[in-house]
Amino acid sequence: MPHGFEPLLDYFIVSTILFAIGVYGLVTKRNALRMLFAIEIIINAANLNFVAFSRYLTNPNVTGQTFALFSIALAAAEAAVGLAIIILVFRVNREIDVLELRRLRG
Amino acid sequence: MDLLSNLIILLAGGALALPGIDFAFKRRVPGGRLPGYVAVAVLVASSLLVGFSATRTLEPAFASNLFRVDLLGVLFSLAVLLVSVFVAIASLDYVERDPNIGVYYSLLIFTALGMVILAFAVDLLVIFVAWELMSLPTYVLAGFSKRDPSSNEASIKYFLVGALGSGLILYAISLTYGLVGSTGLAETFSALTRIISEKELAPLAVLSLALFIGGFGFKMAIVPFHMWIPDAYQGAPTTVSTLLAAGTKKAGFVAAIRVLVIAMTALRADWTITLALLAVLTMTLGNIAALTQRSITRLLAYSSIAQAGFIVIGLAVAPTSSLGLVGALFHVLNHAIMKSAAFIAAAIVIFKTGREDLANFNGLGRRMPFTAFALTISMLALAGVPPLNGFWSKFVLFTAAIQGGLPWLAVAGILNSILSLGYYGWLIKRMYLDDFEGAVRIREPANLSAALGIGLVLIIVIGVYPTPVIELARNAVLST
């Protein structure tokens, strides 16, 4: 076992729990805002992974931290687009429950 | 300057300049079509750039550890740029009176740029950034008809599913990075092979591959991840549906080929059966669901899901048959053309009559002869009727399945092609044999018809003389 492996395991457990919470939120919640939060939690679980791996790998390198920075920026862009769409949907439909939106049917 | 830098400068420059051009000339140019013409010019120039480079030796890209300029990328970017050109030309009529027209074309070009970068990327970081660059504009484009509740609904459903897909891909990349310590594809998979054989960390490697399949699967419209497709395609403006069905979906496949197939070859045949079953499921479910649809865009959406199944056949047999990837590539290119043509024909009908139900297609042969003819040809091509282009790529795919030792997969594919003739044939019968009450000749819009005409010519030319395209696909596979 490489030096300093134990803290990595702790971080990895936290990130796995975060990922599970995100997936749980997406599957059970029907409010578009809650679903957006769930997606953000999944992204942050991945970011935690990147930073932890970057520090505690057998040969540490900065690629992971770079990746985390990129993904934070992209997550912000994604949240901006998502919130804009949610606001638009609320203005037109007065509703952001995705199960209540069912105009499109086969 | 290498090909990729030129493309990035051209496309990013065009996309950034468009809103400004629109703002500056809004009042002076009648009809407000200037941004559209600029967008078409930029996209045509980029496709010509890519098209000519296919015949020459390719210079390596400026950052060779992040990008790899090879024929695979050239072929894919040619396909997605062609689709973007179709969409831009078709949009000239379709979104003519929208006040935000400059932004529309700008987002369209950003999507094209994302797809082009994705086609050349060989580092997981660049793949992820390009993936987002391609996806984010399409979420906005899907909801572009701001006051239309269906467009809103399509946009929010597409966004939630698409963001989940990106999240899964990001988590998969983080696991891969943790196992390997690098994000370059080449190092990643040589290291993954080692890890799989070590057993101790193997479950994590398998989990990350499964997350990759899930994440890419959402874009590729493989069956357990397909439920958003019909809603998004039906609600979005039809030109945007064209972009989604023929463009971004194909980009999903290029990412999958770069990431999964190379990885799968490293992991040997374990995933072949999984992907083969996914292919059969996708084809069958897509086709059966398409039979019961009453809206043209939903019908084409389900047919698009079925076609994704055909492409997955090629991915499934890739480790055992050299023809697998050739067929997949060829079908990706063909499907991009056929599906663009079919969606643009649908766009013409929706644009002119405001209705998308199939009853509206009764007697279309007399009301809109050119549109009806083009739709017939593209649907026959989608069904795989010789001598159209869809026939040849399906032929290569089925040959690959037999060569790869999965003859049942070829049989399933052939049966599905016949099944798909059920709904295509039904629609063709409606257009030519059924009567429409009070039928009058409707004038077909010029730009939309021009885009449709180019698609039609490509379908027939590749159908009659497929050899150069197959050769190009073969060389592209050899170049990876």
Q: How far apart are CA B378 and CA B345, in angstroms?
A: 9
Q: How far apart are CA B49 and CA B251, in angstroms?
A: 19
Chain A residue with Cα closest to B293? A106
What's the whole-model pTM score?
0.93
Q: Which residues pair with B295 in a beta bridge?
A: B357
Domain assignment present for A47: yes
The answer to whether A80 and B209 have CB atoms below 8 angstroms apart is no
Are the beta carbons of B174 and A50 separated by less than 8 Å?
A: yes
Runs of H (alpha helix) within B26-123: 34-53, 71-94, 101-120
Interface test with A, best of B134, B174, B195 (most A CBs within 10 A): B174
For B361-430, the DSSP string reads GTTHHHHSHHHHHHHHHHHHHHHT-TTSHHHHHHHHHHHHHHHTT-HHHHHHHHHHHHHHHHHHHHHHHH
Domain assignment present for A104: no
Phi, psi of B387 (to 5 degrees): -100, 55
Q: How far apart are CA B190 and CA B263, in angstroms?
A: 9
Q: Nearest to residue B110, comparing CAs of B80, B133, B142?
A: B133
Note down the domain range covering A45: 5-93
Q: Chain A contact for B293, CB < 8 A? A: yes
Q: How far apart are CA B188 and CA B173, in angstroms?
A: 10
Q: Which residues contact B285 (CB under 8 A, 6 or more apart)?
A: B223, B226, B305, B306
Domain assignment present for A81: yes
Domain assignment present for A26: yes
CATH number for the domain harbouring residue A73? 1.10.287.3510
Other Cβ atoms within 10 Å of B228 Cβ, number: 20
Domain assignment present for A87: yes
Work out how many domains chain A is built from and give that number: 1
Other Cβ atoms within 10 Å of B218 Cβ, number: 25
Q: Residue A96: its chain B contacts at CB < 8 A?
A: 156
pLDDT tens digits in sequence order for chain B, 480 residues long: 788 888 999 999 999 999 888 888 876 655 568 888 999 999 999 999 998 887 777 777 777 788 888 888 898 999 999 999 999 999 988 887 777 888 999 999 999 999 999 999 989 999 999 999 999 999 999 999 888 889 999 999 999 999 999 999 999 999 989 888 888 887 887 777 777 777 777 788 888 888 988 899 898 888 888 888 999 999 999 999 999 999 999 888 988 888 876 666 666 556 788 889 999 999 999 999 999 988 999 999 999 999 999 999 998 888 788 888 899 999 999 999 999 999 999 999 999 888 888 888 888 888 899 999 999 999 999 999 888 999 999 999 999 999 988 899 999 999 999 999 989 999 999 999 988 777 788 888 888 999 999 999 999 999 999 998 999 889 888 877
Tell me which residue has tokens 């540490």.
A60
Are the beta carbons of A101 and B153 separated by less than 8 Å?
A: yes
Distance to chain B for A28, nearest Cα, Å: 14
* Inter-chain CB pairs, A–B, below 8 Å: 136
Domain assignment present for A99: no
Q: How far apart are CA B232 and CA B241, in angstroms?
A: 8
Phi, psi of B121 (to 5 degrees): -75, 135
Chain B residue with Cα closest to A53? B178
Q: Chain A contact for B31, CB < 8 A? A: no
In one letter, which amino acid is B238?
Answer: T
* Distance set, CA B191 to CA A52, B143, B428 (Å): 20, 42, 53
Domain assignment present for A32: yes
Domain assignment present for A12: yes
Residues 10-29 of A with CB under 8 A from B: 12, 15, 19, 22, 26
Diameter of chain A by CA atoms?
Answer: 58
